[in-house]
Each structure stands twice: as C-alpha cells, then as structure tokens.
Structure 1
Amino acid sequence: MSVSTVSSTERTSAAAGYAGAIVTVLIWATWVLATRHSGSTSLTTIDVGLLRYGVPAIFLAPIWLRMGLFPKGVPLRLIIMMVAGAGALFFQVTAHALHSTPAAAGGILLGGSMPLATAMIGIAVFNERPDRMRVLGLAAILAGLAILLAKAVLSGGMTLTGFVLLPLGGLLWAGYTHAFRRSGLTPLQGGALIASWSTLIHLALAALFGTTLAAAPLPEMAVQFTSQGVLSGLVATFAYGTAIRALGGTQAAAFTAITPVLVTLGGGLLLGEPLGMTEMVAAVVTGAGVALSTGILSKRA
C-alpha cells in the first residue's frame, strides 16, 4: 500500500471519528435534558433504564447472542469496567443526580468531568503525555467547573448529590472509554455487550423494586423510548465507539466538553429553567476547553 493511500485512509478514519464525536455530543445533550425531564414524570430511573438498555439489547440481540455475555479474548476486568462505566451503574448514578440538579449545572458537571477524568486516567495509568495545548484545554474545563462550584456555594442552589454523583458518573465513563479501546471489540459489539448486561441488571432491579412502565402515559414513553433507547442506546453508542477507535480515548472524550453549552441552552429553551450569567459563563469556558483538549490546534501547529 502506498504512502498516499495510507494517508488517505488515516484522514478518512479521523473524519469518521470527528463525525462520531459530534453526533455523540448532540445526542448526549438531548439525553441529559430527557433524563432531567423524566424526573417530573411518573417514570422511575429503573423504568427509564429499562428503555435505555432494553431497546438496544433487542436490536443488537443477534450480536450479543453470537458473541456471548463473556466475549472470548476480552478480560473480565474490561467487561466489568465497560458495563459499569457506560451501563446500569453509570445510568442509575447520573439519572438520580440529574433529577435533583438543574440541567445547566448537570451538563457542566457531567460533561466537564468526563474528559477531565479520562485524561487523568490516561496520564496516571496509561502513561499518556498531553502537550501544552491539551493541558490548557483541560485547565479550561476545570475552570468552568470551579465557576459553577463557586456559584453553588454562594447561592446554595445546588445539592450535594449533584456535586458527588455527577463527577462519579464522569469517572465511571472515563473507565469505560479506556476499557473499550483496549477490549478489541467493535462499536456494535461493545454496545451489545453493555446493553445486554445492563438490561439484565435493570430487570433484576425491577423485580426487586417494581416498575411503572405499564401504567406510564404514551407521550412520556415515546419521548424516553426515542431519546434513551434509540438515540442514546443505539446511535450514540455506535458513534462514540467509532470516535474512540479513530481518535483515541482521551481525544474522543474531550468532545463531551461541548455538551454543557448545549445542555445549558436546552435547559432554558426547552425546560424553562433560568439561564443565569454564571451558568452561561461556566458552560462557555468548559466548552471552550474542548477546542484545545482535542488536540486539533496541536496538530495544526
């Protein structure tokens, strides 16, 4: 294969990775808003979790039935990290927090902590060495979180639940990001594995604590079915997996820093939540960090 062919293939792969990351961010912003909205409906986090993972588990059944719940050649620790980091544990932690956290603050805390935690794990565990531009981008993300924290301390409008559980969700997702990249699975295989295990876990939770899915109004079901099951469960899982394979875990996760800006705007426009200047500044500062932490400017240099 010639050098020009290899270069063209690499450019195509990178373009697919960037496209996957952008699609993921758009869907995640919708997911945060939909999960926040579900707190005002009759649906519980178990109900929403069944939709979030049950829908892709059904569509991807041919894959996980052929592959099995313990894919050959994938270490158990990676399976656990993937299922916990993007599956049932991640969902229950973040959904519970988002129900008691304004959309703007939730988007900043979760969207900002994801790339930050992913980068820290990459540096501490996998010996990654980010250049100055990426370090500056991570610093901007941290500054955005600090602005939000200062506002919450002064106003008392934020709960401790959000400040503890949403960064924990970001840490879980960071573990999934690195585990998936090292698993050797394709995006669809990874999505099928997470969906199948998480559906089983949510079915067990439903057996223990009950479910209200059968009595839920059809409009509520339609919103969550589309945003959770189809968009987040199927489309975003494949898109993010593509981004990880093409760009690497740290760079793919850095795109999630755009999410706070979109969620802040969506919270005001769609959920009627107040758009304070502090939240807007925190969202912009956090989101701006992605332009540096993705490494795009580093490559140009």
Structure 2
Amino acid sequence: MVALAPEMKKSNSLGAGYAGALITILIWATWIIATRHSSATHLGTIDLGLIRYGVPALVLTPVWLRTGLIPRGVPVKLVAIMVCGAGALFFQITTFAIHSTPASAVGVLLGGSMPLAAALIGVVVFGERPDFTRWLGLAAIVAGLAILLTIALGSHAIGWISFTFLPLGALLWAGYTHAFKRSGLTALEGGALIAVWSFIIHIGLALVFGTAITSVPLAEIALQFLSQGILSGLAAMLAYGIAVRVLGGSQAAAFSALTPVLAALGGAIFLDEPVGVWEIAAALITGLGVALSTGILSHRCKR
C-alpha cells in the first residue's frame, strides 16, 4: 500500500486537472451563448465586464487583500500578462467580436485557436518540445476545427472583426496560461488578481463611456450575473487555474478545442443555429485530438 501511495496521489491530481479543464470548457460554451444572447439587449461590453469581474472581485476580496495588487515575488510583467490575457483586454476584444459572430464560429475562432496558440508560445518562447502524440493530437484538432470553420463560413457571413479579434483573444489567453503557470500563484490568488484589476479597469471605462446596467430588465441582469459573474468570472477561472497547475499550460489549453463542439451544440439548441453530420464528425475528431494532445490516452495505457 505504501508503494502505491505516490502513484495514487498522482492519479488523483491528474483527475483534478482533467475535471478542472472539462468544467472550464463547459462554462465557456455557456458564456459564448449568453454573450451572443446579450447582443439583443441594451447591455454593452463595459456593462458585461463590470458583471464579469465585479462578482469574483467581491467574492475573492480576502484573497487579493492578503496578496496585494502586486504580490511580492511575482514579476510585474507576469501580472500584466495575466490581467491582459484573461482580464479586461481579453474580455473587451472577444465580447465585441462575439456580438457579431455565430456561436459555432466563435467556438472555432476563439476556443479552437487557444490550444494552437498555447503550443506555439510553448515551443517558440519557452522551448517546449511536444512528443509525436501531442503533435498528432494538435493535427487532429486542426482538422476538426477546419471542418467546423468551413461549415460556419458556408452558413454565415463572417466579417474581418471575427477573424481578427477572436484569434487575438486566443493568443492573449494562451499568454495568460503560460504566465500564470510560471507565476507561482494559486488558482485563487491568480483569479482574484485578474478579477480586481479588471474590475478597476472597467470602472474607469464606465466613468468615461457610461453604463446601461440600470436601464436593463432585472431578469437579463440575473442571467448575466450567473453566466458572466459566477460561472465564467469565478468558477471557470478557478477551475482553469487548477487545470494549468496540474496539467501544464499547453495541455490545459488543449481542452479548449472542445469549446467549438459545445458551442455549436448550444447554438443549435438555444439560438436555432444548424448542426448536422459534419458537425458531429468534427466533434469526434476534435475530441480525439484533445485526448492525444493532453496525454489522457497515454496515461490510461500506462495503467
């Protein structure tokens, strides 16, 4: 029993990492759909940002008060990359683009681009050397995303805003992923810092450009409070932080390739966007790619 203890501990740790990644992409798919829905309301990107980061900033107040706005021992550069990559800049860029992009295409251009951007940064900046299985997994992800993007382009008129801002958002998030991994912060500490800094920035934006929150029906505010604030702003940020800590930046980011599949299904159910045989095929290919690039299959084979 004593000899098995370290292996069991490692297995439990991996399970927590995989669970954190899966919870994150489920919430992200919900976020895409809720943000698309908000385009039909009077809520602007600044209003959504106030909700998105105000809730976790308030809930995690004891955490960021303890660490300080610039934690001791953490380079300011890493904090800035984290806040830009998963905070105010990321949110404003992606939300602006999501309002004019079908949910299925958002999933491809944003969630689908994240594992590729994370892998690229890992290789070019940090000298990571993915093995053949991970390269094969990334290739499968590209194939699945290509199918979904082809379908999206054939079904909708997607403009330059979508093709420019959503991949840029994916690059920002990939940068945050690697910065957080190297910051030494816990998921709670990283989430708290991103939330409070982003909330401060959005307060500044609201003072300059105004806000429409007070003129929006309470039911709509409640929907965004749940989706943006509690789920995306708090739960997903903490879950993703755990995934990055356990699995590593590139492997955790690979799970985001499942977001297009869930977004397409959610778009079909809630926004009447079509889904058919090719979408299902792309889902299977992408799922296989995620399994290969994150090492799930190799871990199981070793058991």
TM above 0.5 = yes
Provide Cα deviations, 1:110-142, integer angstroms capped at 9, x if missing partner. Answer: 111011111111111111111112111111222
Task: Name the CA distance, whole Å, in 2 between partners of 1:183 and 1:40.
Answer: 39
Contact 1:260-1:287 within 8 A present in 2 as well: no
What TM-score comes out, normalization by structure 2 length? 0.94
- Measure the CA separation in 1 of the matches of 2:285 and 2:172: 23
Residue type of the partner of 1:20? G
Q: Residues 81 and 179 of structure 1 are in contact (CA less than 8 Å); yes or no, is this contact kept in structure 2?
A: yes
Describe the shift of the 1:7–1:165 C-alpha distance in structure 2 as closer, same or farther (beyond 3 A): same
- Displacement of 1:281 in angstroms is 4.5
C-alpha deviation, 1:148, in angstroms? 4.4
Residues 160-203 of structure 1 deviation map (CA, whole Å, 9 limit, x = unaligned): 11111111111000000000010000100000000000001101
1:67 equivalent in structure 2 = 67
Which residue identity lines up with residue 161 of structure 1 in the other structure? I
1:157-168 pair list within 5 angstroms: 157-168=157-168
Contact 2:104 2:152 in 1 (8 A): no
Q: Which residue does 1:200 correspond to in 2?
A: 200
Q: Report the Cα distance in structure 1 between the residues aligned to 2:128 and 2:92, rounded to whole angstroms.
A: 30
- The aligned residue for residue 117 of structure 2 is 117
- 241 and 155 in structure 1: CA distance in 2 versus 1, 3 angstrom threshold: closer
Contact preservation (8 Å) 1:46, 1:206: yes
Identical amino acids, percent of aligned pairs: 63
Listed as ranges, the matches of 1:262-301 within 5 Å are 262-275=262-275, 279-301=279-301
Structure 2 contact 18–243 (Cα < 8 Å) conserved: yes
Does residue 85 of structure 2 align to residue 81 of structure 1? Answer: no
Q: Is the 2:104–2:148 contact (alpha carbons within 8 Å) kept by the matching residues of 1?
A: no
Q: How many residues align?
A: 301
Q: Deviations over 1:273-297 (max 9, x none)?
A: 2336555554544344212111122
CA–CA distance in 2 between the matches of 1:284 and 1:66?
45
Aligned-partner Cα distance in 2 for 1:159–1:66: 45
Amino acid of the residue matched to residue 89 of structure 1? L
**Structure 2 letter corresponding to 1:275:** V
SS state of the match for residue 106, structure 1?
helix
User: Which 5+ residue runs of structure 2 have no aligned equivalent?
Assistant: none
1:107 deviates by 0.8
Distance 1:183 1:48, change over 3 A: same
Query: Contact 1:259–1:287 (CA<8 Å) still a contact in 2?
Result: no
Task: Provide the secondary structure at the position in 1 that maps to 2:4.
Answer: helix
Relative to structure 1, the CA distance from residue 27 to residue 151 in structure 2 (aligned partners, 3 Å threshold; closer, same or farther) is: closer
3-state SS, counterpart of residue 100 of structure 1: coil
Contact kept, 8 Å, 2:105 with 2:152, in 1: the verdict is no
Matching residue of 1:259: 259
Separation of aligned partners in 1, 2:148 and 2:17:
30
Question: Are the counterparts in 1 of residues 25 and 255 from structure 2 also a CA contact under 8 Å?
Answer: yes
What TM-score, normalized by structure 1, do the two folds share? 0.94
List per-residue Cα deviations over 1:53-104 (Å, max 9, x = no partner).
Answer: 0000000011111211111000011001100000000001110111110001
Does the residue aligned with 2:62 lie in a helix, a strand or coil?
helix
1:14 partner amino acid? L
Are 2:216 and 1:239 equivalent residues in the alignment? no
- 1:132 is matched with 132
Per-residue deviation, residues 21-55 of structure 1 (Å, max 9, x unmatched)? 11111111111111111111110010001000000
Q: Which amino acid aligns with 1:36?
A: R
Deviation at 1:154, TM superposition (A): 5.7
User: Quick one: distance in 1 between partners of 2:43 and 2:237?
Assistant: 23
- 1:173 lines up with 2:136 in the alignment: no
Q: Distance in 1 between matches of 2:7 and 2:255?
A: 24
Which secondary structure state, in structure 1, belongs to the residue aligned with residue 196 of structure 2? helix
Contact kept, 8 Å, 1:86 with 1:173, in 2: the verdict is: yes
1:191 and 1:161 map into 2 onto residues whose CA distance is 28
What amino acid is aligned across from residue 110 of structure 1 in structure 2?
L
**Which SS does the other structure have where 1:162 is aligned?**
helix
C-alpha distance 239-152 of structure 1, shift in aligned 2 (>3 A): closer
Sort the Cα spacing of 1:104 and 1:152 in 2 relative to 1 into closer, same or farther, 3 A. closer
Given residue 179 of structure 1, which amino acid in structure 2 is its aligned partner? A
The residue number in structure 1 matching 2:91 is: 91
C-alpha RMSD of matched pairs (Å): 1.9
Helix, strand or coil for the counterpart of 1:101? coil
Cα offset for 1:299?
Answer: 3.3
